[in-house]
Every structure is written in C-alpha cells, then in structure tokens.
Amino acid sequence: MTIRIRKGQTGKRLLNTVIEMSGVDLSVCYQCKKCSCGCTVLNHAESPPSEIVRRLQLGAGEELLNNDLIWTCVSCETCYARCPMGIDMVSVMDALRRLAIERRAKIPEGNVPLFNNAFLKTVKFFGRTYDLGSGPDGNV
C-alpha cells in the first residue's frame, strides 16, 4: 500500500499536538509492527496502528484525522502490551479522536462513534468498563 502525505507545515503541528495531548513520544517507534500484528480490529480498519504512527512521524496532515482506525480502535491495549518501546497507542488514538472532533473532521456514520463515546463515559464514571458477559450470579 502506498502512503501519500502532502508536504507542508500542518503535519509537524499535528504530530506535536498529538505528542502534547497524549504524552507519548512517537519518535521511539522503529516500526516493528507488533502493535499491528496484535490489533483486534485490524480486519475492520483500512490502516494498522503502525501506519498511523508512521504517518505522524512523516508529517501527515489533517487527512490523518479521517482515518477509520481512530474510531474503530476499541482501546484494548493489546498494541501497548506488545510494543517493545512501550508506546501507548490508546492515548494516541484518544488524542486523534479529540482532534478529529475539535477540527470537525469526517466522523464515520453509524454506531462506532456512539459506542466510543458511551465506552469513554462508562470508564470516566466507573473507573473501568462493565463486563456485560455475566451477572452477579455468573449467568448471562
């Protein structure tokens, strides 16, 4: 797959903003792609997590905020657990989501943004996610 990045100043600003918002140093990523190999939603997204990082490193601009992985990511932290450099991709994705909303980027239709919003509100309110699989007696 060919990655096209428009040359300009906006890319470095986006990278710096994401680093500032997430607190993650993306310069340490050496593209081992372990994050992508473990991504649970990779089959439902057009770009893997490693490509998102590489695009940021190369100076991608606002077009990155239209990437579907930003909204498809379920924040499972598998990428973080597999990363030998300890890059917290969940924080990066959260920063990209906030930027996409702030800058009025194209947000996909359907339930994905709704699910993401409900998930984050649940974590904010309860401090964790609620396991829907079973009730207090162990039954579904």
Angle at 57 between CA 83 and CA 78, to 5 degrees: 20
Q: Collect the ranges in the chain with pLDDT lower than 50.
A: none
Domain boundaries, the chain: 10-126
pLDDT tens for 74-101 read 888 899 999 999 999 999 999 998 898 8
pTM recorded for the entire structure: 0.74
CATH class assigned to 10-126: mainly alpha
Please report, rounded to a whole number, the percentage of residues in the chain having pLDDT higher than 70.
76
pLDDT confidence of residue 56: 92
